[in-house]
Structure 1
Amino acid sequence: MRLGNGLGIRAVTTWLPQTVETAQDALTRGRISDEDLRNTGVTEVPVAHTVSAPDMAVAAARDALAAAGWDGAALGFTTHAWIHHQGHDFWSPAHYVAHRVGAVRGVPLGIQVMCNGGGTALEAAASRLLADPATGTALVTTGDRFPDEGFDRWAGDYGVFYGDGATALLLHERDDSADEFTLLGLSSAAVSAAEGLHRGRDEFTPAGRWISDRIDVRRTKKAYITDVGLDGFYSGVSTALRTVVTTALDEAGIEVDDPRIRLLALPRVGVKVRRETYHPAVEGLTKAQIVELGGRTGHLGAGDMAANLTAIREQELLAPGEVALAISAGGGFGFTCAVVARPAR
C-alpha cells in the first residue's frame, strides 16, 4: 500500500492484566514439558480472570486517546480485531468498543482473520483514511483472552503460549511534531493453501467447540502435517514474508540496505517457531536487528504487532529518524509488514 508522505501513528498502547501465570508453575503442575518450555522461551503470560477481551480493548483505547489528547467522539473510523471468543456468541465486539469509547461517527469494522487481525485492521484503517480524508482519525484495537474453560493457553498449540491482553493504535494524517511513529509503508500477503493447519481432518460443525470442550490446535496441526507435510508451508511462508518486507520498503521509498532500518520485530510466538519459520525468511534481507519482545507476554492473539510497537516506544529502541519493521502473521495464513519511523522532531 502506497501511503504517499506517510500516515501518523499518534499513539499506540498495550493493556495487560496485572495477574500473571509463570511457565515454571505450568511446568511444575505438569501442564507443559521441559521441551515445551525450551521451544517457547516465554517465562510468563498475563492472565485476565474477570475482565473480558472487549473491555481490555476499551481500556487500551482509552489509554491511547488520553495519551493523544483526543476525544473518542471525533474518531472517524474504528476497527477491532480478535482471534478468540469475545464473551457473547452472536454479537459485534467492534460496535461495543466504539460505543464504550464514545465513537459515534462512522461504522465500526470487526476483523476476524486469526492472528494477523491487527495487521489487517491497520491496513483497513489506513485504506479508509487515504480513500476518504474526511475520516480524519482512526482507532485500531485488538483484544483476546484465553480462559481455561475454552482454551489451554499452555498446551493447546505447538510452540506458542497465549497471553491475555489488548492493544490500541490511533492513526491520522502525519504530524511529526506529535506522532509516536510515522507509518511509511504497509504490505500484506496470504498463503491460503495452508488454511488446513487450523482445520485438519475435522468435519464442519453446527456450533462452536462441537468436537472438543476446548480448542485443540495441536489436533488440527498434527493431522495436516501427517496428511500434507510442511515443505510447501515453509516455502509459501518464506516467499510471503520476504514479499511483504521488500514490498513495504519499496512502497515507503526505502532501500533494503538502508542503514536507517534499525530493527525488525517478529510475532510473539515461541523461539522454535520463530527460528524455523521466520528467521530463514528475513535474516539478511535487511540490516535490521531481529528483536523478540514477547518473553513476558507470550502470544497476544491479534495484538502482537501493536504490542511490539508499544514496546519499541517504551524501551526507546529507535532513535529519531530510524526505521523499524513490524511483522504480523496469522493462521489462514496471512502476513503484514508495517514500516515505521520515529519522527525527527
Structure 2
Amino acid sequence: MKFDDIHLAGVGTYLPRTITTEYAVKEGWYAKEAREASGLEAVAVEDTLPAVDMAVRAARTAVDRSGHAADDFLGLLHSHTYYQGPEGWSPAHYILGNTLDRPVSAFQVQHGCLGLLAALESAALRLTADGGRDAAMLLTAADNFNTPLVGRWTSSSMFVLADSGSSLVVSRRGGFARLLAMDFVSQPGMEAMHRGDEPLFPPREPVRPVMDFEGRLESWRTRWAEGGSIPLADFGALIAATVERTLATAGTSLDRIARVVHNGFNQDPLNVFLLDPLGLDASRGTWELNRGTGHASVSDFAIGLEHLWTTGQVVPGDQVLVLGFTTGMEAACAVLEITARPTDTPAFPSRGVH
C-alpha cells in the first residue's frame, strides 16, 4: 500500500539495564550451548516498572520530539504481546491519561511482534481519511516479561525476550521520516506451530500458564515423527516476495535501501528467515544493536529506527526497510525515507527518560 504525506514526527524508547548472557549462564538461567548459538551478548531486563509505565516514558519522549501539541492528536494505539494489567482493564487509556490526557479514542492493536507496524498502518489510514494537516496519532508499545510465568531465556530457540517500551508519533504535518509504502502477508497454515496441543477452550488452570513456544513446537515435532502433516511453507520466499512488492509500490529497490530494521531474533533465525532470503548481510541490519538487547517484542522496530537515526547511521535522503514477522505466520514490511536529522526536529531531549 502506497502512502502520501504520512510522516513519523517523533520516536521514543525505554530500555532498562541489561543482563549479560554470560551471567545468565552462570546463574543457570541460560544453557551455555544456547548462548553460543544465539550470538547474544546481553538482554534488557526491567525489575520494577510495569509495561504501561515504560510505554508512558517512551511516549513522552516521542511527543516532545514531535513538536505536536496534545490537541493535534486524533487518538492513541497501544500494542503488546503479554500481560499489561488486570483482566478487563484498558492499558491504552492509562497511557493516554498519563501522556496526552485528551478525550480521544485509545485502544489496543493486537498483532504479536508486528503490533507496532499494524498500528502504524491503522494510524496512516486514519490520518489519510481525516486529511487535517496538523493531525497526529500516538502509537505506544511495551512488554515486561520479568515474571516466573515467562521463560525469558528458554521459551524459544529463536530469541530471548527483552523488556522495553517504545512510541511513535505519526503525523500529517511532517517529521524525521516519511512513510512511502507498507504491506502485510500471511501463511495461516502455519498458525499451528505456536498453538501446539493446548486446548482452545476451556482455559487451562492457571489461566496464564508459562509462556513456552519451544514446548508447543515440540508437540508438533512428535506428530511429524508419527507421520502427521507438517504446517510449513517456504516462509522466507514469501517474505522476499512481499518486500519486492512493497519496494516496487514505493518506487524504489533493495539496492537503494541504506539500512534494515528487523526483529531482534538470535543470529541464525535472523539470517535464515529475514536476511538470507533477501541476500542481505547482517551489517545492513540492526544486529549489532539487537545482540546487546535481545528480542524486544513489539518495540524492536522503534528501538532500531531510533538508534540508527539518533546515531547518524541514517541521514536525510536515506531509505530504511522495516521488516519482521510474527506468529500466524505473518510478515510485514514498511519503506521509510529519512527527511531530517535529530537536530532539525522541534525538540530533542537527551535519550534516557528513565
Q: Is the contact between residue 184 and residue 242 of structure 2 (CA under 8 Å) also seen in structure 1?
A: yes
**Residues matched between the structures, number:** 335
Q: Distance in 2 between matches of 1:210 and 1:55?
A: 26
Partner residue of 1:50? 48
* 1:270 equivalenced with 2:266 (yes/no): yes
Within a 5 Å distance, the mapping from 1:251-330 to structure 2 comes to 251-257=249-255, 260-283=256-279, 289-292=284-287, 293-330=289-326
Give the deviation of 1:289 after TM superposition.
2.6
Q: Is the contact between residue 118 and residue 304 of structure 1 (CA under 8 Å) also seen in structure 2?
A: no
Give the deviation of 1:127 after TM superposition.
1.1
User: Relative to 1, partners in 2 of residues 1:79 and 1:186: Cα closer, same or farther, differing over 3 Å?
Assistant: same
Q: Distance in 2 between matches of 1:137 and 1:197?
A: 38
User: Relative to 1, partners in 2 of residues 1:227 and 1:315: Cα closer, same or farther, differing over 3 Å?
Assistant: farther
Q: Is the contact between residue 39 and residue 159 of structure 1 (CA under 8 Å) also seen in structure 2?
A: no
Unaligned 5+ runs, structure 2: 342-354
Residue among 224, 233, 244 paired with 2:220: 224
Q: Distance in 1 between matches of 2:71 and 2:229?
A: 48
User: Relative to 1, partners in 2 of residues 1:270 and 1:234: Cα closer, same or farther, differing over 3 Å?
Assistant: farther
User: Relative to 1, partners in 2 of residues 1:211 and 1:99: Cα closer, same or farther, differing over 3 Å?
Assistant: closer
Q: Is the contact between residue 36 and residue 159 of structure 1 (CA under 8 Å) also seen in structure 2?
A: no
1:255-310 Cα deviation digits (max 9, x unpaired): 344xx3212222101112112222232216x9x93442311111111111111111
Q: Distance in 2 between matches of 1:129 and 1:230?
A: 44
Cα-Cα RMSD: 2.3
The residue type equivalent to 2:142 in the other structure is G
Q: Is the contact between residue 189 and residue 243 of structure 1 (CA under 8 Å) also seen in structure 2?
A: no
Q: Is the contact between residue 181 and residue 250 of structure 2 (CA under 8 Å) also seen in structure 1?
A: yes
Using structure 1 for the length normalisation, give the TM-score: 0.89
User: Relative to 1, partners in 2 of residues 1:97 and 1:242: Cα closer, same or farther, differing over 3 Å?
Assistant: same
* 1:94 equivalenced with 2:92 (yes/no): yes
Unaligned 5+ runs, structure 1: none
User: Relative to 1, partners in 2 of residues 1:56 and 1:174: Cα closer, same or farther, differing over 3 Å?
Assistant: same
Q: Distance in 1 between matches of 2:241 and 2:219?
A: 29
SS at match of 2:3: strand
User: Relative to 1, partners in 2 of residues 1:310 and 1:344: Cα closer, same or farther, differing over 3 Å?
Assistant: closer
Q: Is the contact between residue 116 and residue 331 of structure 1 (CA under 8 Å) also seen in structure 2?
A: no
Q: Distance in 2 between matches of 1:206 and 1:12?
A: 41
User: Relative to 1, partners in 2 of residues 1:103 and 1:281: Cα closer, same or farther, differing over 3 Å?
Assistant: farther
Q: Is the contact between residue 309 and residue 315 of structure 2 (CA under 8 Å) also seen in structure 1?
A: no
User: Relative to 1, partners in 2 of residues 1:103 and 1:247: Cα closer, same or farther, differing over 3 Å?
Assistant: farther
Partner residue of 1:159? 158
User: Relative to 1, partners in 2 of residues 1:47 and 1:290: Cα closer, same or farther, differing over 3 Å?
Assistant: closer
Q: Is the contact between residue 184 and residue 340 of structure 1 (CA under 8 Å) also seen in structure 2?
A: yes
Q: Distance in 2 between matches of 1:3 and 1:209?
A: 46
Q: Is the contact between residue 10 and residue 64 of structure 2 (CA under 8 Å) also seen in structure 1?
A: no
* 1:204 equivalenced with 2:200 (yes/no): yes
Give the deviation of 1:64 after TM superposition.
0.8
Moved more, 292-301 or 79-88: 292-301
Q: Distance in 2 between matches of 1:62 and 1:54?
A: 12
The residue type equivalent to 1:289 in the other structure is R
Q: Is the contact between residue 75 and residue 103 of structure 1 (CA under 8 Å) also seen in structure 2?
A: no
SS at match of 1:91: coil
SS at match of 1:186: strand
Q: Distance in 2 between matches of 1:101 and 1:329?
A: 29
Q: Distance in 2 between matches of 1:72 and 1:207?
A: 41
1:40-87 Cα deviation digits (max 9, x unpaired): 222112211111101111110001111223333431121010001112
User: Relative to 1, partners in 2 of residues 1:36 and 1:256: Cα closer, same or farther, differing over 3 Å?
Assistant: same
User: Relative to 1, partners in 2 of residues 1:211 and 1:97: Cα closer, same or farther, differing over 3 Å?
Assistant: closer
Using structure 2 for the length normalisation, give the TM-score: 0.87
Within a 5 Å distance, the mapping from 1:92-171 to structure 2 comes to 92-134=90-132, 136-171=135-170
SS at match of 1:97: helix
Q: Is the contact between residue 13 and residue 57 of structure 2 (CA under 8 Å) also seen in structure 1?
A: no
Within a 5 Å distance, the mapping from 1:180-191 to structure 2 comes to 180-191=176-187
Q: Distance in 1 between matches of 2:248 and 2:274?
A: 20
Give the deviation of 1:148 after TM superposition.
2.7
1:149-184 Cα deviation digits (max 9, x unpaired): 210211121131111001100111253xxx221111
The residue type equivalent to 1:263 in the other structure is R
1:215-250 Cα deviation digits (max 9, x unpaired): 111111122344359976350x22331133122212
